[in-house]
Amino acid sequence: MKRGINLNLKAEPQVNAYYNRLYDQVAEQYAWAEKAKATGRDATALVESKPAMDLADRCEQIIGPPGVAKRYRELFAERKDRLNCIFTIFEEILDKKLGDFETAEKRLEQAVKTSLVLVTEGVVVAPLDGVPSVKISKNYDGSPYVDIYFAGPIRAAGGTATVLPLILGDYARKLLGLDRYKPTDEEVERYVEECAVYDEIFTRQYKLSGEEVRKIIRGCPVCINGEPTEEREVSDYRNLERVHSNRVRGGMCLVLSEGIALKAMKILQMAKRLGLDWGWLEQIIKIGKGGEKEINVEPSYSYLTRIAAGRPIFAYPSRMGGFRLRYGRTRNSGIMGKGLHPATMVLSDEFISVGVQLKVERPGKSAGVFPCDSIEGPIVRLASGEVRQLHSLEEARQCLDQVKEVLFLGDLLVSYGDFKQAAHPLMPAGYCEEWWLLELQKQLAEQKKVEGIELGPVLKNPKDVDGATAVELSLQLGIPLHPKYVHYYKALNRDELLYLIEKAKAANKVFDETRIVGAELAFDEELKKLLERIGLPHKPVNGALVVGETQAYPFLKTVGALADEKPGDTHDVLECLSRLSGLTIRDKGGTFIGARMGRPETSRPRKMVGNPHVLFPIGLAGENIRSINKAMNSQDAKRQSTGVVEVDIAHYVCPGCRKTMPYYYCRDCKARTVLQTVCPKCGLNAPKEKCPKCSVPMKHYTKRKIDLNAV
């Protein structure tokens, strides 16, 4: 690295100067590291952590091939689409335009690993250790197919990157003219058994059924293979010719369950971009086919699996009264974070707190939650029978002891990007203030005039519009009724709605001169349940259900209690209400999302049993805690302390004094030592792969006695 280079970033001068200063400081530290390495005292003579200027540079240094960094920058400057650039680089490696590889198999492996490094941005080990090898193997009919081996570290890549090698493998199959993988019945059943065994060993986010595994293996055109990672072996379908071990292949199981099963929609999208047919995946996606523009998304129960005792379920899948989907983000939610009203957190007995993990129905699998007080708060029924919507943290705390039932949990604020990242179709949103404001502004922009209403306060604070103004704006401009005065009418069927309309028409209206300031509906249990179901604030008073001043006039207007209009024959409750009221009534519910408490406390550092003191080979001399201090106090047969242990250790020889030692550096000669090969059988020291006398593989280590006190 050279100092004094101007990075010429597209940023303000002070920002550019800051990064130039950072670069100079890194260059200085790197120069010191090179000097330290040059002394020869370390295991390697080069600095392992190489500085990289950007993603492309990082990729070329980690995996190659030479020239990929320059080509990636050219493509990205032209297209501005990272995935599109990666697909092009994949093609060019296969076409021999990038890199110099002798065989198609080597080109394929390099192309897959380079693409995976670019997708994961070179920050995880998945491209190197998670995909040990990519081969071109043979079906039993002699046709070639793509055979991808996965290992445990593929988990670090994340769900989408986990399945990318499969998509790329199928694309390579298309480009190289290879056949698809044709599994035998025995091989398919071997996959089923391995997934079942792996599920016994580890708890996973999604448990595949045997039938789902069969559909995946028979449908996938690429072989999902893997290295044996677990000690347990399968009991049936052993010793198969194309499966090289009877042990469980953990990487393969992870790709099936946490890759294909959970990222099926994302796979379909990527496959379509490359012109690949992965339609078989629709058999395992819990989404029914609709029209060209409409997708019928079924409730998903997967987040309820493997729930632990003591973890509350806040809402069942897609059930009315759960979390209402609200699109947007707040400053504190970050990437893939969700927003909740703080009053909802209080009502959950504070099981939900800032940053806690929730398992959610959609989008994705889980979410960290953060407070947002500008979205809809929860609706509750108090012990007195009053139904109230809570608008603040303080209000929730004041009435917490009086809450009898939570009727509606409030909004769940989700950004559009979360759906895109999870490759989940966008779901219908409930009618909300920002939507209403856009429709108002659109009508005003068309030069439509409003009489008798001062629009300044309405446009400045669209959340705080009184009922009379909301109704008048709807009548004059033809816009939908303000969402503050729309309730969850779709929770009712036609008969229930007609009953509500009948009772509302018979209600006693309370006037302040000519203005309606209240409505008193005759109390009955069925009506009370209907009002609770639609979330209309009210309270029982002297044998009546009283709707207060805020909601009385808009509610009576909505249900047609102020006119003689007939509901008609329609079974659509919103259409019926729009006909009765002369207003446009939108669906306030939209989409409800289920959620339960996650298990954030199970995330902890992975520690080696015994907390080893050092990474020096002392065998069993340090006992179960691998303590070098205990090893130094080891005793011989006469129970005398010797500190001498016999271990397998590297065979280094100093070229100067010819001493054998376990070090990279001879302290006497001040020179680097040379790693030599030794025959484990006869002890011959020779630079050969196999011993010329014994014909056994040579090794770089020998079993020797080491004096730890001298070390």
And the tokens for 548?
């207060």
- Is 639 contained in some domain? yes
- Is 532 contained in some domain? yes
The pLDDT value recorded for residue 288 is 37
Is there a single domain that holds both residue 453 and residue 578?
Answer: yes
How does the average pLDDT of the chain come out, rounded? 85
Q: Which residues of the chain register pLDDT less than 70?
A: 1, 3-4, 126, 155-159, 204-205, 284-296, 423, 599-616, 619-620, 622-626, 634-643, 711
Is there a single domain that holds both residue 416 and residue 507?
Answer: no
- Is 75 contained in some domain? no
- Is 157 contained in some domain? no
Picking from 79, 72, 170, the residue whose alpha carbon sits closest to that of residue 117 is: 72
And the tokens for 302?
């997967």
Cis peptide bond upstream of 363, omega within 30 = yes
- pTM of the full predicted structure? 0.58
∠ Cα 399 400 405 (to 5°): 100
* Per-residue b or e along 620-630, where b marks 16 or more CB atoms closer than 10 Å to that residue's CB: ebbeeebbbee
Is there a single domain that holds both residue 655 and residue 703?
Answer: yes
The pLDDT value recorded for residue 296 is 63
The pLDDT value recorded for residue 287 is 41
- What are the residues whose beta carbons fall under 8 Å from the beta carbon of 255, sequence distance 6 or more? 150, 154, 162, 163, 166, 224, 226
Is there a single domain that holds both residue 334 and residue 461?
Answer: no
Cβ neighbour number for residue 667 with a 10 Å cutoff = 10
Helix ranges (H only) for 610-674 are 628-632
- Which of 392, 421, 450 is the last residue before a domain boundary? 421
The pLDDT value recorded for residue 711 is 66
- Is 556 contained in some domain? yes
- Is 275 contained in some domain? no
Is there a single domain that holds both residue 525 and residue 581?
Answer: yes
- Is 91 contained in some domain? no
Is there a single domain that holds both residue 482 and residue 569?
Answer: yes
Query: Domain residues for 517?
Result: 442-588
The structural domain count of the chain equals: 3
- Which of 588, 610, 644 is the last residue before a domain boundary? 588
- Which of 588, 609, 639 is the last residue before a domain boundary? 588
- Is 482 contained in some domain? yes
- Exposed, middle or buried, 582 (CB in 10 Å: 0-12/13-18/19+)? middle
Is there a single domain that holds both residue 450 and residue 404?
Answer: no
Is there a single domain that holds both residue 543 and residue 408?
Answer: no
Is there a single domain that holds both residue 352 and residue 404?
Answer: yes
Is there a single domain that holds both residue 405 and residue 456?
Answer: no
The pLDDT value recorded for residue 537 is 94
The pLDDT value recorded for residue 154 is 76
Is there a single domain that holds both residue 509 and residue 414?
Answer: no
Is there a single domain that holds both residue 469 and residue 553?
Answer: yes
CA distance 24 to 269: 43
